[in-house]
Each structure stands twice: as C-alpha cells, then as structure tokens.
C-alpha cells in the first residue's frame, strides 16, 4: 500500500531525477579529469623530448651515450625526473643512447612510427607489456637542414593517471549512492511533512461522509498550495452545509404548506360525513375544499417551476420585449384587484425600455411584485409601478413601491428564500404560496439581471429589478 502513495511516488521520482543528474555529473567529471590528466602527461613527455632534441648535436659519430642523456636531463631539470624513460635513436631506428632507468630494456618502435617520424611528425603511443601499467611514449624526430637525423623517444608510466582515476571512481561509487540514500530519507520526510495537510483533509472528508457537515480543516497556513486547497475545501463544505440546511428548511416548509390544506380538506370532509346536511351546507363545504385544492395546485405548480429552474430544464424563448408596454398591461389587469382592496395603483414609464427576454416570465415577475404590493398595503395606501431605462448604465429599472406594512431589517436577506414570509400569521389571509419572490429572483437572474429590496416597517417597501437594456 505504501508504494502506491503519493509520498512514495514523489520521493521515488525525486531520487530518480537526482540519480540521473548525479550520474551524468559524475561521468562528466570522470571523463573530463581523464582527458585532462592524459593531456597533461602527453605535454610533459613531449616537453622532455623537445628539450633533449634541442640539446643533441648531430649524430655525434656513434651517437649519444647513456652519460649524455643523463647529463642533458640533469642540466635542464636539475634532477632526472622520476618515471621518465628516454631513448635516442638514429635515422634508421638503431638505439644510440638511453636513460639509466631503461637498463637492458628497449622502448619498442613500430615501422609506422618510423615512417611518421621520417615525415617530421610527432607520434604518441600507449605501449603495454613493459610493466604493471602501460607506458605512454612520445616519438619526436630531430630535424636538421630539412631532414631527420635522429629520433627522441620519451616514455612515462600512466600509473599516476590510472591511480587518480581509480580513486575518483571509488569516491563517486560511494558518494553517489550515499547521496541518493540520504536524499531518499530526506525526500520522504519532506513529502510526509508537505502532504500531512492532505491527510487532514482526507480525515475531515471522511468525517463529513458520515453526515457531519460542521467539520472544518481550519489550517493556519493559507499562502501555499495546500493551504489554499484547505481554505477552498472549507468554503465548499460551508456552502454545502448551507445548501443542506436550505433543503431541510425547504422540505419542512413545503410539507407544512401542503399539510395545512390537506388537514382542512380532511376535517371538512369528515364533518360533512358525520350527518346528513342540506344542499347549501354541502355547497359551502365543497367550495371551501375547492379553495384549498386551488391553493395546493398553486404551491405544486410553483414548486415544479423552481425545481425545473434549479435543474436547468426550464428553457425560455427570448425575443425583443418592450418592458414598459408589458408593465402597463399588468397595471391595467390589476386595477380591479387594487380597487377592491381600496389601494391606488399608479404607473410611470419613460419609453426606453427594450430588453431581450421571455415575455411570459417577465410578465409573471411584474405580476408577482405588484400583487404582493397590493396584498400587503392597507386600504387607502398606494402602490406605484415604474419602468425607466438608464442608457448610461445600460439597464432597465423596474420599481414596485408600496406604502404597506414594510419588512424588518433582519428579514430583508431572507425575503427571497422559498416559503419565507414576513408575517406567517397572515399567510392564509393573503393567499400566497411563499414562493412568489423566489420565482421573481430566478426570473431576474435568468435575464442576467438582479432584484433588490429596500424597506422600513410601517412605511412600505420598494422592489427594484434591473435588466440589461437591449441595444
């Protein structure tokens, strides 16, 4: 299970990448040092060969002796360099002199090397079989008057180079795995520390899965990626908790709204069945039942509308709508309702009110707002419907103001909630379902607009709807 965790994967890939980097660097270091050491060795033996060649006189009869070679070495280097083997040959390749440390040993020279020397070219070779370590040899021709008169060979063991590279290889062989081991432990520690908040999120999510939406992570760090994830998670859970609470309230309110008319229906039917009654009494019972059925039908219809809107299944056919003309039609239709209540219904507009919307839904919005104003305004009060275009802001404002009972400040935020009523005691008297303002809010938002309310108890309310003006 551990090998499937993010901690292991992060540590594994971190170690793999670091291993590739260290291996690449080690190879680069090894081959760079090897090239540098071999070049240094070649330069040293070539310099020695050049010094000896420049000090030699033309063949000297029988050629230079061992004493001549040692003398030249001592004169130019102070002491004879250790590990240097010097051999001087004539133009035919016969040995004329060599350093003391060669004794009875001869540095071999191939036919190809002799040919190269005859052409005046310097040749480097690595010769094996003369000891534990190979011998690096430079063959330098001695040129006088445009022709080769002799050859100088200087050889040096590659022991120092091989030992240095061997030491470096051992160091890298130990250092790289050790570094990877330390890195893996450190990487695992850092990954565990970095992902610890993720474990907290997992545990919190698990507790939430059991139904406890009050759980929060509440991390102190909010500036890193994990901190922002935790903060976003807390915000999401807070919204979910609020949504679940709304669903619970909505379910309870819907049950209550439907239970009340059903209780009335049941009670009146039971009363009517207890004994025989005259035709007028039965008519009264049936009329009351019809009112309750109509009320339930309105509630169910409004609930269906909001449910379909929430699910995005309620499509609206858009067209160019004159909001002023639509509002005037509602004003004319509700005049009888206002007069029956003893309320003065006014209308004002400015004519510049073209919007892109669904006429039936916009009419429903205006109708709900004006009906609410009339219902909650006592006899002798006023309700004013005003539509005006604001070209500067690019919107049409629709305002419904009344001189009714008003809304308390603490209720203003919840006035658009489903089934919320300011005065629950008057809900049956006014005949509303408690869903009208929720539908108004949905219609406004569906038209890229918004709805707001300003109110004061005892002085009335003003609902303002703003919808983008059609160009």
Host H or E run for residue 349 = strand 344-349
- pLDDT grade for 62, boundaries at 50, 70 and 90: very low
pLDDT at 306 over 60: yes
Tens of pLDDT, residue by residue over 151-173, are 888 988 898 899 999 999 999 99
pLDDT at 193 over 90: no
pLDDT at 426 over 60: no
Tokens of 4: 């499937």
Q: Are 268 and 288 in contact (CB under 8 A)?
A: yes
Expressed in percent and rounded to 5, the helix, strand and coil fractions of the chain are 55, 20, 25
Tokens of 208: 């939430």
Q: What is the pLDDT of residue 297?
A: 77
Neighbours of 105 (CB within 10 A): 12
**Cβ contacts of 147 within 8 Å, gap of 6 or more:** none
CA distance 465 to 440: 9
Of 444, 346, 347, 446, nearest in space to 396 by CA: 444
Q: What is the pLDDT of residue 22?
A: 93
Q: Are 141 and 151 in contact (CB under 8 A)?
A: yes
Angle at Cα 375 formed by Cα 373 and Cα 378, nearest 5°? 90
Q: What is the pLDDT of residue 123?
A: 92
Q: What is the pLDDT of residue 253?
A: 60
pLDDT at 317 over 80: no
pLDDT at 240 over 90: no
3-state DSSP assignment of residue 82:
coil
Residue 138 gets the label, from left (phi > 0), alpha (psi -120 to 50) or beta, of beta
**How many Cα atoms within 13 Å fall on the side-chain side of residue 174?**
5
Tens of pLDDT, residue by residue over 428-440, are 455 555 677 888 8
Q: How many Å is the Cα radius of gyration of the chain?
A: 52
CA distance 138 to 77: 18
pLDDT at 387 over 90: yes
| CATH 3.40.630.30 is the classification of domain 225-310 | no
Supply the mean pLDDT for the chain: 81
DSSP states of 351-403 as a string? S--EEEE-HHHHHHHHHHHHHHHHHTS-TT-EEEEEEEEETTTTEEEEEEEE-
**Start-end of CATH 1.10.287.130 domains in the chain:** 225-310
| CATH 3.30.565.10 is the classification of domain 319-468 | yes
Least-confidence region, from 57-71, 167-181, 186-200, 210-224? 57-71
**Start-end of CATH 3.30.565.10 domains in the chain:** 319-468
Instruction: Decide the pairing of beta strands 147-157 and 123-127.
Output: unpaired
- Burial (CB < 10 A; 0-12, 13-18, 19+), residue 161, is buried
Neighbours of 443 (CB within 10 A): 26
CA distance 92 to 117: 11
**Start-end of CATH 3.30.450.20 domains in the chain:** 2-163
Q: What is the pLDDT of residue 29?
A: 95
pLDDT at 219 over 90: no
Sign of torsion, CA 257 262 263 267?
positive
Neighbours of 375 (CB within 10 A): 20
Tens of pLDDT, residue by residue over 394-411, are 899 999 999 998 888 888
3-state DSSP assignment of residue 148:
strand
Tokens of 206: 């698990």
Beta bridge partners of 348: 386
Query: For residues 292 and 424, which has the higher predicted lDDT (pLDDT)?
Result: 292
Average pLDDT over residues 162-190: 92
- pLDDT grade for 70, boundaries at 50, 70 and 90: low
- In CATH terms, the superfamily for domain 2-163 is PAS domain (3.30.450.20)
Neighbours of 15 (CB within 10 A): 19
Tens of pLDDT, residue by residue over 33-59, are 999 999 999 998 898 888 888 776 544
Distance set, CA 82 to CA 45, 160, 162 (Å)? 12, 12, 17
Of 410, 413, 420, 411, nearest in space to 252 by CA: 420
């Amino acid at each position: 299970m551990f090998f499937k965790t993010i901690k292991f994967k992060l540590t594994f890939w971190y170690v793999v990448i670091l291993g590739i980097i260290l291996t690449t660097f080690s190879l680069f270091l090894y081959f760079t040092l090897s090239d540098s050491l071999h070049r240094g060795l070649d330069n040293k033996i070539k310099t020695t060969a050049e010094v000896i060649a420049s000090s030699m006189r033309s063949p000297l009869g029988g050629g230079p002796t061992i004493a001549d070679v040692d003398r030249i070495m001592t004169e130019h280097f102070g002491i004879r360099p250790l590990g240097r083997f010097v051999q001087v040959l004539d133009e035919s390749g016969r040995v004329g002199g060599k350093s003391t440390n060669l004794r009875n040993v001869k540095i071999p020279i191939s036919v190809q090397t002799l040919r190269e020397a005859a052409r005046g070219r310097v040749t480097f070779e690595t010769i094996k079989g003369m000891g534990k370590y190979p011998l690096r040899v430079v063959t330098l021709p001695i040129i006088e008057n445009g022709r080769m008169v002799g050859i100088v060979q200087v050889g040096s063991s590659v022991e120092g180079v091989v030992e240095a590279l061997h030491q470096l290889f051992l160091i890298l062989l130990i250092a790289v795995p050790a570094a990877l081991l330390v890195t893996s432990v450190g990487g695992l520690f850092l990954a565990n520390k970095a992902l610890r908040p993720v474990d907290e999120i997992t545990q919190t999510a698990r507790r939430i899965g059991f139904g406890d939406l009050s759980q929060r992570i509440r991390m102190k760090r909010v500036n890193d990626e994990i901190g922002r994830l935790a903060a976003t998670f807390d915000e999401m859970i807070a919204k979910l908790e609020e949504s679940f609470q709304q669903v619970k309230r909505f379910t309870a309110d819907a049950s209550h709204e439907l239970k009340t008319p059903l209780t009335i229906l049941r009670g009146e039917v039971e009363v009517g069945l207890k004994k025989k009654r005259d035709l007028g009494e039965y008519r009264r019972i049936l009329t009351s039942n019809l009112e309750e059925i109509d009320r339930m039908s309105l509630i169910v219809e409004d609930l269906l509308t909001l449910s379909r809107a929430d699910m995005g299944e309620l499509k609206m056919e858009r067209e160019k709508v004159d909001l002023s003309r639509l509002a005037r039609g509602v004003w004319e239709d509700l005049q009888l309702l206002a007069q029956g209540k003893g309320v003065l219904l006014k209308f004002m507009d400015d004519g510049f009110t073209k919007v892109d919307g669904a006429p039936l839904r916009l009419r429903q919005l205006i109708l709900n707002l004006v009906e609410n104003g009339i219902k909650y305004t006592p006899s002798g009060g006023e309700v004013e419907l005003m539509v005006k275009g604001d070209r500067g802001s690019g919107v049409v404002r629709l305002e419904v103001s009344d001189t009714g009972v008003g809304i308390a400040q603490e209720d203003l935020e919840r006035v658009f909630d489903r089934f919320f009523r300011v005065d629950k005691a008057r809900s049956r008297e006014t005949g509303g379902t408690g869903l009208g303002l929720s539908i108004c809010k949905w219609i406004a938002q569906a038209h890229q607009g918004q709805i707001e309310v300003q109110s004061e108890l005892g002085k009335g309310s003003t609902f303002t709807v703003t919808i983008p003006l059609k160009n």
